[in-house]
Each structure stands twice: as C-alpha cells, then as structure tokens.
Structure 1
Amino acid sequence: MEDFWFEVVEIIQTIGDGLLFGSTYALIGIGFTLIFGAMGKLNMAYAGVSIAGAYTGLAIHILLEAPFPIVFLVSASVSALIGYLVYQACFRFIP
C-alpha cells in the first residue's frame, strides 16, 4: 500500500512541476509577444534579461537567505536595470 501512495504523490508532484514550468514558459512567451507588438522588433535579449533576474534571485536566496519579498524586489530591479542598459546600448538607435 505504501508503494501506491508513493506513486500518487509522485504523480501529483509531476503535475505540479509541469504546471509551474509551463506557466513560466507561457509568461516568457507572452513577454516576447508584447515586446514585439510594442517595438515592432524581435528582442532576443529579453530571454537573457529574464534568466539574469532568475539567477540573481537564486543567488540572493541561497547566499543571503533573504526572505521572498526581498528576493523578488532585488531580482526584478536587476532585470529592469539590465533591460534598460540593453535598450540604451542597442535599441534606442534603431528607428
């Protein structure tokens, strides 16, 4: 009977993981669509900025053991700063 409950828990965990990963990919895809619609240009740096924010949040959480609101604010701020720098360096010159 223990094996049955172990398999049920594993299935529920797999479904949860799939939903979380799928929603993350959907958010990044929606971001690509919004940026392309607003700028009329395909910004491939968006993926890099998203990953930089994710890694920043992971590093802050692991190294500093900061609470979630702090991790969220810092990683969002770092992503915004990198996105702004990419815009200033690359996209503002494109008509």
Structure 2
Amino acid sequence: MFKTRDGGESWTDISGNLPAAPVNDLLVAPRGNLVVAQDVGVYVSRNSGRRWLRLGDALPLAPVLDITYHRGTDTITAATLGRGFYRVDLPGR
C-alpha cells in the first residue's frame, strides 16, 4: 500500500507489516487511525502505516470487503464475505 502527498509525483510505501493480501477497503478514522479491510482481516495503524495491528479477535478467517466507522461508539463495522457483519473497537477508546 502506498500514499502520496504531491498528487502522485512520488509515493511512499506504508504497507509496513501488513500481510501480503489484497486491501479491499480503506478509511481514515479520528486520531489519525488508518484502517484497512483485507482478505485476512481488519488492521489499524496509528503511526501513518509504519506498524499495523490486527483488530477483532472474534472475526472469522474470511475476506473483509467493506468497513465503516461509527463515531458515536468509536467502532468499525466489518462486512465479511459470506460470514456476516462484525463490530470491532478501535484501540485507545
């Protein structure tokens, strides 16, 4: 995964320790949290992509196709392929 700050003239790798799996969705949550949905789970980075932590120990081992942030509860809803929806807390609540 890469980011740009100059309209695409240069790119910085922010995949850090993310598993080598497709990223299906990405969102920026409050406090600078980057959250990604992958085929192997949901991951959050609190330091611009240098280090990623897996969220949701109860998530099934199934592709996560869509994620949504809920401001009132500071949680993420993850939509999985064939396994339903799951809600996980963001760290630092």
TM-score where L is the length of structure 2: 0.24
- Which one has the bigger strand percentage? 2
- Which one has the bigger helix percentage? 1
